[in-house]
Amino acid sequence: MHPPSKPRKKERSLLTISLLIILAALLALVILLSTDESGLVINEIMASNRIVIHDEDGAYHDWIELFNSSSRTINLEGYWLANDPDQAMQWVFPETEIGAGEYLLIYASGNDRRDPDGAYFHTNFRLARSGDQLTLGHPDGTILDEIVFEDKLPSNISLGRISPHDEEWVFYLDATPGAANDTEPYEQVFDMPPLEEDLPVFINEFLVRNRTSLADEDGDLYEWIEFYNSGEEAVNLKGFWLSDKESNPYKWRFPEVIIEPEQFLLVFASGKNRRDPLGPYLHTGFGLNDRDDELVFKTPDGKVVDLVPIREQFSDVSYGRDPDNAAEWLYFPQPTPLEPNYTMGYETLAADPPVEEGVLFINEVMSENLKTITDEDGDYKDWIELYNSGDLPVNLKGFGLSDNSDNLFRWTLPDVTIGPGDYLLVFASRKDRLDSDAAYLHTNYQIQVTGETISLTHPSGQVIDQLHTGRLGPDISIGRNPDSGSNRYLFTEPTPGKPNTTEPHEGYAFTPLVSKTGGFYDGPITVALEAPSPEAEIRYTLDGREPTSEFSRYDKPLMVTDTAELRPPAYVEGELYTGPFEISETTVLRARAYEEGRLPSVTVNRTFYIGEEHNLPVLSVMGDPDDFFDPVTGIYERGRGGSSTFPYRGANFWQSIELPVHLELYEPDGRLGFSFDMGLRIAGQYSRAEPQKSFNLFARNIYGYNEFKYPFFPDFYPEKPLANKAITLRTSGQDWRHSKIRDIMMTSLLEGTGLDYQAHRQSVLYINGEYWGIYNIRERINEHFLAYNHGLDPDKIDLLQGSGWVRSGSNEHYYEMLNYARANDLSDPRHYEYIKTQMDIINYIDYWVAQIYFAQIDSANIRFWREQSPEGRWRWITFDLDWAIWGDNYSHNTLRFVTSPAGTGSGRSLNTDLMVNLLRNDHFRQTFVERLAYHLNNTFAAERVLDRIDTLAENIEPEMTRHLERWGGSMNHWTGHLGIMRTFAERRHSYLLGYIRDYFSLTSEEMQIFDAWE
């Protein structure tokens, strides 16, 4: 066989050229396929979504729709969206694909969700209804598509393309998120379309201030709108629009609901947004008021059916069509929802109330009732006294008694009559009792001691009387002086239910002025005080006591105990100010002005730090030193009843006595952060017997504020709330003389896990000007802590401790779940699925993974909670880790310890039935292993733990020398405990891997999930 002949040189050249051409074409095709994004466009947007489509949480957010009009799939990783022209790549897509001819819906919610496995993506920005633009960009920064909208977009109306390749944008009354824009387009929807003249359905009657009229299915009294079909055929209202604003007429849309001939349809304007045609009532997503609003009723294509201006409205008086002339509107004192307007109607209603002017008065009010008068339950509650000065009885049914000028009917009086010259006492207790035959009536609100305006309003809406309480002290009332007309006075001897005949006080003395602001000074300073009134004198103290004077017996709050016994205040007459004085060392100044005929002024509080330097926030507590340190009665002392051995049971510091104190916080830059009156108690368990004690601080009405609104924990925002009912100044518990950072280090590692934990802030404390060392500001775990962190009602939370001891709410639900887990085999998927509806499984596992990693041997010290609702599931709270990461317990088999059927914790006191029975389920065991791997690889990665230890230690290192001088100890001891913690972080994983492998019988292949620690 002859070998194949070689091609000639010319043929070889042609072949080479052909191959190069083919390769070039292929390369061009690859490049084209990888770079051609001309088919990806913004197809439709909505900038005010109220009812059209909700996200996976049931919330209505702005949305953006993309469309891939090309013939291939596009991977969107690195593509971006922005509504700020100066921020390219403002929100970047993760790895996800949009197929050829497919739509992708993204919520512009501001929630920033990018999980490819989630239901929807969410951008980190929202769309403005006007003056905004939206940009779609390529990973290389190139802009692929852009839309600018300057006019204000109506609610529930989308802006979209006529076709994906068409540059023309139009409005759609029927938006199509996630689908083609195939509904009727409109070039303009801002101008009112012509009236729809042939439709027989119209608005017949509405009520704006519903106090006693028709209640909805929840028992709530909301505004309502009545429609009537005057025609001879049924009308389907599907797609019709309803709004309270002519400028925004597409707020709410009817579902498919049919109104028969000569029938009525009632819609509650409640804001509940219920659109189930089979439900008891329909509910709009907006409410009504009589401030320049109008009712707008439109057809699905935007034609106006009815437009009714909302004139001045009165409580329980409806506004409806005249049955004899449908073009005229009348006021109906007797509304007729779902009936013809057959009652007496009036063109106008008299503006004056049908009671003689100057007859009914708010005569006396108390906002801080500690010992003046009890209600029928024996409780001391706020109260309001009404007085009838006329000659005739007045029935108060329907009168509003409110502490809110924007809601004059927050609480409405029942059918009760006040006779001539009589008084009616109403407790402002929040108990909301309306039985006119009972001993007392009770409102559904309390009165803030910082001052509120109390209003008495006639059912017509006419305000009868108002009284601004101002800030009132304990058992001080404000009321009308019968000898001085309408002037209001303060009474230190209140007279509830009787004439105000005791000595009146014109008000409070004016607050004295201080020549120096509190804060940090390098050396001695001279301080001067000034009374704004020449008739006043100033008393001051420099030891923390609040000054008093012979002018007043009511100027110091009483101390509160858990048994509700009140300790009388000591009488302390402050130094009389006669001229400027020098302060040469760190001192607290407290000053008040006193004037004959007036109550004492507000106390001025200042802390002057002389020659002090700190790199941490500085707290200053001011209070009567005897309350703290009197050998017999001081809460810091053992007193006469304390045992002589640790922990000194029976000592004063084991009692729950609350002191009135003042607290200031200075930020590290030297500026004053806040200055509050509050209550203080000794905190902790065995740590309260140590020399440096922890404190709980409480905001209560008695001190003037019922919550602290200050960013105590700026490093934890926005995760942690601004408002707190209570905070704790913690010494670090049992770790107080060792590292000072154990507990805060461990809990801070849980940021981002979804577990509940206390925020912290390292700080320095002074008590009455004396240095008290390093403290950690912490959130206090109670129902308010949970309410603030989760946006819940604190009165609807079950909070338990240990094996089910109630701290708030009830343990009934928990025991029902626990008994179910004990009585049923949780390896059965049916029983396991039920338990998952009762508790948050992932939260439960994550909680115990943290306890296992930390080697928490005090594992019975446990708290858990749920919201009292059908959806409420039990969740666990991580706290009090003083005995974790201790000594050589990096080798402790905490996994076996917390899963032992014999129980866990000190003395095996915590029952483990729930854990043991859950571990019988294969899915739970697999999830447990996966969560262990995740947290060991991430949350508790050795380098992360070591970095957190170093950071917290560095924060307090400059302070440690002085702290140790105050409380004893050595720097070597301190650094030694930091070393123990570092050793734990370096060695813990290797031990845990062996325990996990043995406990779950994992193979080498299954252990690869922990590869990060090999």
Say if residue 668 is preceded by a cis peptide, omega within 30 of 0: no
Q: Indicate the pLDDT class of residue 966, thresholds 50, 70 and 90.
A: very high
Q: Indicate the pLDDT class of residue 26, thresholds 50, 70 and 90.
A: very low
Least confident of 27-36, 571-580, 615-624: 27-36
The contacts of residue 415 (CB under 8 Å, 6+ apart) are 395, 397, 436
The structure tokens listed for 946 are: 């070591």
8 A C-beta contact, residue 154 and residue 189: yes
Average pLDDT of the segment spanning 918-938:
96
pLDDT at residue 307 greater than cutoff 90:
no
The backbone torsions φ and ψ at residue 748, rounded to the nearest 5 degrees and listed phi first, read: -70, -25
Q: Indicate the pLDDT class of residue 554, thresholds 50, 70 and 90.
A: very low
Least confident of 356-370, 749-763, 767-781: 356-370
Q: What is the pLDDT of residue 3?
A: 37
Q: What is the pLDDT of residue 33?
A: 40
Concatenate the DSSP letters of all residues of 137-201 into one string.
E-TTS-EEEEEEE-SPPPTT-EEEESSTT---EEEESS--TTS---S-EES--SSPPPB--S--E
Q: Indicate the pLDDT class of residue 194, thresholds 50, 70 and 90.
A: low
Q: What is the pLDDT of residue 12?
A: 46
Average pLDDT of the segment spanning 867-896:
92
What are the pLDDT digits (tens) for 806-837? Answer: 999 999 999 999 999 999 999 999 999 999 99
Q: What is the pLDDT of residue 990?
A: 93
The whole-angstrom separation of Cα 230 and Cα 224 is 20
What are the pLDDT digits (tens) for 254-303? Answer: 999 999 999 999 999 988 889 898 888 999 988 887 655 789 998 888 88
What are the pLDDT digits (tens) for 597-621? Answer: 888 888 999 999 999 999 999 999 9
Q: What is the pLDDT of residue 720?
A: 66
- 17 versus 372: the higher-pLDDT residue is 372
Q: What is the pLDDT of residue 897?
A: 95
Q: Indicate the pLDDT class of residue 469, thresholds 50, 70 and 90.
A: confident
The whole-angstrom separation of Cα 680 and Cα 657 is 8
Q: What is the pLDDT of residue 141?
A: 85
Q: What is the pLDDT of residue 212?
A: 63
How many Cα atoms are found within 13 Å in the side-chain-facing hemisphere of 276? 7
Average pLDDT of the segment spanning 697-721:
80
The contacts of residue 157 (CB under 8 Å, 6+ apart) are 46, 48, 171, 172, 173, 175, 189, 250
When the pLDDT of each residue in the chain is averaged and rounded to a whole number, the result is: 87
The whole-angstrom separation of Cα 941 and Cα 934 is 10
Residue 357 CA: distances (Å) to CA of 352, 388, 390, 400, 464:
9, 11, 10, 17, 8
Q: What is the pLDDT of residue 292?
A: 56
The structure tokens listed for 266 are: 């009632």
Portion of the chain with pLDDT greater than 90, in percent: 57
What are the pLDDT digits (tens) for 382-427? Answer: 999 999 988 888 999 989 999 987 788 899 999 999 999 999 999 9
The backbone torsions φ and ψ at residue 476, rounded to the nearest 5 degrees and listed phi first, read: -105, 130
Q: Indicate the pLDDT class of residue 196, thresholds 50, 70 and 90.
A: low
pLDDT at residue 485 greater than cutoff 60:
no
Longest dimension (CA), the chain: 138
The whole-angstrom separation of Cα 797 and Cα 522 is 50
Q: Indicate the pLDDT class of residue 316, thresholds 50, 70 and 90.
A: confident
Question: 264: helix, coil or strand?
Answer: strand
H/E element, 789: helix 783-790
Q: What is the pLDDT of residue 370?
A: 86
pLDDT at residue 963 greater than cutoff 90:
yes
The whole-angstrom separation of Cα 793 and Cα 571 is 41
